[in-house]
A and B are shown apart, each in its own frame.
Chain A
Amino acid sequence: MMIRTLLITTSLLFAGNAAATSVKGDAANGKKVYEASKDAKGQPVAACTSCHGVGNTGKLPDGSAAPNENPTLAGQYSDYLSKALHDYKTKKRAHLGMQGNAGRLSEKEIADVSVYLGSLKSKIHDLSEHE
């Protein structure tokens, strides 16, 4: 009896862990995160849009073209975006600005912003269309 309870508890624990590592993203909240980021004190910081453009427009908030050096994120696979953000957050990937930006995001915010961007249509696409 004791062993069985233990086994059930353990499997529940594993199930809970698996759910935590793949937080389900919410696109509506991701849009908010993408457009208006805040630091730990709740102060507004430069939003993702100020380098990567508003939604899938390819334009910065002031209407100018998003810099060519910065990747188009709209339309990218959400799990790749999540992976990239985690790599910045853990400093596996180099880029001072992005390490700071991703470092401020919670697991839930990373999931949300990744799902939001992945839900947009843009000019980036798979090479499978060109074979």
Chain B
Amino acid sequence: MKTSLFLLAGLFLASNAQSAELKGNPKAGKTLAYTCTGCHGISEYKNAYPSYRVPKIAGQHEKYLLAALHGYKKGERNHPTMKAQASSFSDQDIADIAAYLSGLESKK
């Protein structure tokens, strides 16, 4: 009985760990990231009210991108457009996008 309990607990932990660290697929991320280019794909593009240039996200650290997108999805970060975008993505989508963006190298 005890053994099966341990086994169950072990399986539970294993599945949790897996969902916390989804492996991102850059190819899938590239397709999903098309929508990002509307703002992040225009050099010097400005956010309106308040006015500032939208951040460069290509080549950014993968884990930071994950944190940022999950932050928007959970409502911890407050940009309306980014909240809407991030909430439309699954955790796997977010992992894929972060993998794609972080792997990009500047051609300049």
Taking beta carbons and an 8 Å cutoff, which residues of A are in contact with B? Answer: 66-72, 75-77, 79-80, 82-83, 92-94, 122-131
Q: How far is the CA of A82 from the CA of B51 in the complex (A)?
A: 11
Q: A127-B37, A127-B41, A130-B104 are in contact. List 19 more A-B contacts (CB 8 A).
A: A68-B64, A69-B63, A70-B61, A71-B60, A71-B64, A72-B59, A75-B56, A83-B50, A83-B52, A94-B76, A123-B105, A123-B106, A124-B58, A124-B60, A125-B106, A127-B40, A128-B43, A129-B58, A130-B58
- Select one of B41, B53, B58, B77 contacting A80, CB under 8 A: B53
B108 proximal to A (CB < 8 A): yes
Most chain B CB within 10 A, of A70, A93, A130, A131, is at: A130
Please name all residues of chain B whose beta carbon is closer than 8 Å to the beta carbon of A66 when the two chains form the complex: 61
Please name all residues of chain B whose beta carbon is closer than 8 Å to the beta carbon of A71 when the two chains form the complex: 60-61, 64, 68
Main secondary structure on chain B at its contact with chain A? loop
Q: How many residues of B contact A (CB 8 A)?
A: 35
Tell me the minimal C-beta distance from B43 to chain A in angstroms.
5
> 16 A-B contacts, Cβ less than 8 Å apart?
A68-B63, A70-B64, A71-B60, A71-B68, A72-B64, A77-B44, A77-B54, A77-B55, A80-B54, A80-B55, A123-B106, A125-B56, A126-B42, A127-B58, A128-B41, A130-B104
Q: How far is the CA of A71 from the CA of B98 in the complex (A)?
A: 12
Taking beta carbons and an 8 Å cutoff, which residues of B are in contact with A? Answer: 33, 36-37, 40-44, 50-64, 67-68, 71, 76-78, 101, 104-108
Main secondary structure on chain A at its contact with chain B? loop
